[in-house]
């Protein structure tokens, strides 16, 4: 009878054996993972960029974020080394660079270790460099009285937004910032910086500018300069200086011959809707 059934319906295989073989084949299989091309997620979103543009309109950022090489520094990356590395990275591209530093209520300060932040870019070939803070607090850069904070070269075009620049110290000029380039300072506080010299003259406890300097919606206070001849406890400028919607107060210039506790400008000075509660020395003054 069994032989007759097999002739009619065919021989039935052992299902338990098949299951065993299938399990054996399955256990011998291995998943192969092929590497995908490397992709970097853009951390600064278009919404973030719109927030930055709204916070710092005087930096005149482009409407299109794609016009910039955007470099982000997160709260966990907030060190002087990483900030200088970001500035150095900006010098490696021909595009305009936007360095965005994220801050929180508890993480918002960079303390320099004895070396100033150098911006050595040529705007014509390497683009501009803009540094802004993004978060609940401004980014504080504290030189801890061991160096000046920023040194900006002649051909650079730099924008600073939402920064507190403090603790700068130099035995030359420009305690907080020394600039021979084009600099825009927007919504910043520059205070507690010192320039002192045993030579004949020094200038700019807060900022010493030999190029074009624009200061908007900012406070420059509590800076000092001292030497035999001193110029500008707050700002010293030999180029073009424009101050708008800002307060310059409580700055000191001390020496045998001192010019301008608040501002000393031997170039062109334009002041609009601002408070300057100390002397101004200038060869040309235009006040709107």
pLDDT digits (tens, 9 = 90+) for 9-23: 455 544 444 444 444
Give the integer Cα–Cα distance in Å for 246 and 187. Answer: 9
DSSP string, 133-170: EEESSPEEEE-TTSS-SEEE-TT-EEEEESEEEE--EE
Residue 9 is predicted with a pLDDT of 47
Q: What is the Cα 98 distance to its own chain's centre?
A: 8
Element at 52 (helix H, strand E): helix 46-55
Give the integer Cα–Cα distance in Å for 274 and 211. Answer: 21
Residues 55, 223, 244: CA angle, nearest 5 degrees: 40
Residue 254 is predicted with a pLDDT of 86
Low-confidence stretches of the chain (pLDDT < 70) are 1-42, 278-288
Token pair for residue 25? Answer: 């084949």
Give the integer Cα–Cα distance in Å for 58 and 15. Answer: 79
Strand partners, 163: 139
Contact of 187 with 162, CB cutoff 8 Å: yes
Max CA distance (Å), the chain: 128
Residue 230 is predicted with a pLDDT of 86
In angstroms, what CA-CA distances link 29 with 16, 22, 115? 20, 11, 58
pLDDT digits (tens, 9 = 90+) for 233-257: 999 999 999 999 999 999 998 877 7
Answer whether CATH 2.160.20 is correct for domain 42-287: yes
Phi, psi of 202 (to 5 degrees): -160, 160
Residue 133 is predicted with a pLDDT of 98
Phi, psi of 38 (to 5 degrees): -70, 130
Domain range list for the chain? 42-287
Residue 200 is predicted with a pLDDT of 75
Residues 58, 279, 144: CA angle, nearest 5 degrees: 65
Q: What is the pTM of this model?
A: 0.82
Token pair for residue 24? Answer: 């054996």
């Amino acid at each position: 009878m069994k032989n007759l059934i097999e002739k009619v319906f065919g021989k039935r295989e052992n299902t338990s054996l098949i299951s065993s073989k299938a399990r054996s084949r399955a256990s011998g299989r291995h998943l192969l993972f092929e590497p995908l091309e490397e992709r970097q997620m853009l951390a600064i979103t278009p919404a973030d960029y719109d927030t930055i543009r709204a916070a710092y309109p005087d930096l005149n950022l482009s409407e299109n974020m794609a016009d910039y090489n955007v470099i982000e520094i997160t709260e966990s990356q907030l060190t002087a080394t990483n900030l200088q590395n970001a500035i150095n990275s900006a010098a490696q591209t021909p595009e305009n660079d936007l360095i965005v530093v994220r801050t929180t209520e508890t993480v918002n300060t960079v303390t320099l270790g004895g070396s100033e932040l150098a911006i050595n870019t040529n705007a014509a070939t390497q683009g501009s460099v803009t540094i802004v803070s993004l978060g609940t607090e401004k980014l504080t850069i504290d030189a801890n009285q061991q160096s000046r904070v920023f040194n900006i070269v002649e051909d650079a075009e730099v924008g600073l937004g939402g920064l507190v620049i403090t603790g700068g110290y130099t035995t030359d000029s420009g305690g907080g910032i020394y600039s021979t380039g084009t600099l825009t300072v927007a919504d910043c506080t520059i205070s507690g910086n010192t320039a002192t010299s045993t030579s004949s003259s020094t200038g700019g406890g807060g900022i010493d500018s030999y190029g074009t300097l624009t200061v908007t919606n900012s406070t420059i206070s509590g800076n000092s300069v001292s030497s035999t001849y001193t110029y500008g406890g707050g700002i010293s400028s030999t180029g073009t200086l424009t101050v708008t919607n800002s307060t310059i107060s409580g700055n000191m210039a001390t020496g045998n011959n001192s010019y301008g506790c608040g501002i000393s400008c031997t170039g062109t000075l334009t002041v609009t809707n601002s408070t300057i509660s100390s002397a101004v020395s200038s060869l040309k003054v235009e006040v709107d």
